[in-house]
Each structure stands twice: as C-alpha cells, then as structure tokens.
Amino acid sequence: MLSCEVLDPLYGLILLERDPDGSRVTVSGDSIPTASINRTSDTAVRSDVPIGTRDGGQLRMTLDGNEFDVQPSLGRFSRRSYRVEVTGYGHSWLFTPASPTAHRLVQGSRYTGHNMIGMFTADDDVVTVEWAQEVRFAGAAARKVDSAPLDCALGYLLAAAFGTGAQLMLAAIVTGATGALFPG
C-alpha cells in the first residue's frame, strides 16, 4: 500500500493510502471520518485516472462506514466532463475543475460562487487544499461555507482518486490532435 501524510491547516494529520494497483484509495485522520473508494472491476483500466476508471458503476464509495453514490463524468475534452457528483446523508456535493491544476468542492449540484468548501490540488500523490475564506468588499462580507470533517474526507478522497484540474476545451483538442499526428 502506498501512503502519504498531509498536514491539513484545519483538520491536522491526514493519511492518504492507495493500493499498488490503484484499485482502492483510503483517507483517514484523527479529526475526520475514514473514507474509501474502491474500483470493483479490472476491465478497461484508464491510466489517466488514479483510481483507474470514471465509470460510476465500477466504483464503491464509503464515508464513515456509510455507502455514498459517486457519479464521475467521462473526462474527455471539456472541463465539465471532469466533474464528480457525490450524494449521501441526504446531501450532494460537486467536485468540479476550477483551473488546469485544481478542483473545487462545492455543496449542492452546481457551483454558484458562494457554495465552495475548498480548492484541492493533487500532484504526485500529494493533495493540498485551500479552504474557502470569507471575502470582504466595501464593508460587506460574502457568504462562505464552513467545512466539516466529512467535507474534508470527501475532498481529499476525490482528489486522490480522480486527480485535479482540467484544460480548457481548445487546449485539450490541440493536445489530443498533436498526440495523434505525432505519436511518441
């Protein structure tokens, strides 16, 4: 099992573990619930996805011992195709690209500008987060979402299992066409 320890600014020490074949990712810590995602099939493993698939039917996710529904989009040319929807405990979350290197975790099924929990970046098996901050402008404070331990576990788990970031559509098309025309 491959493992990495991360010191989160709000929740302390977080342990990320991944099976050598990439079929299971687990996140745990003293201040957060244990969360895991398992790939249930070995068919058609995708090398560009750390967990090996973006097929929700081949994935099983648990948080604090309870099963959650995880529905990743296919991950093709558009940024939107790299989002992951999660439902459980009567709530929903969206893990959606924010830049070429980061994903944001938001409450609900769409990003509205004031429902972001945190911004996650995964790089070489290390996951970092910037938790949402209150923004003040002209004496008014924008509403912010306070993270909870469950949100922390969910964000780290999704970043480790699916990676973070997505290129803009035009850049992805040019990169794909260049790779097809000039392999190697």
88-135 pLDDT per residue, tens: 989 999 999 989 889 999 999 988 878 999 999 998 778 999 998 866
CA distances from 113 to 11, 62, 106, 140, 154 (A): 24, 28, 9, 16, 20
Where exactly are the structural domains of the chain?
A: 2-179
> Are the C-beta atoms of 108 and 96 separated by less than 8 Å?
no
Band (pLDDT 50/70/90 cuts) for residue 165 is: confident
Among 36, 3, 14, 56, residue whose Cα is nearest residue 149: 14
Which is higher by pLDDT, 140 or 31?
31
Specify the pLDDT at position 113: 79
Task: Kindly state the average pLDDT of the residues 4-32.
Answer: 94
Q: Which amino acid is it at 146? A: D
Specify the pLDDT at position 126: 86
Residue bearing tokens 């439902």: 87
| pLDDT beyond 60 at 171 | no
Specify the pLDDT at position 174: 53
| pLDDT beyond 60 at 27 | yes
Among 117, 122, 115, residue whose Cα is nearest residue 166: 122
Which is higher by pLDDT, 153 or 55?
153
Q: What global pTM score does this model have?
A: 0.85
Arithmetic mean of pLDDT over the chain = 85
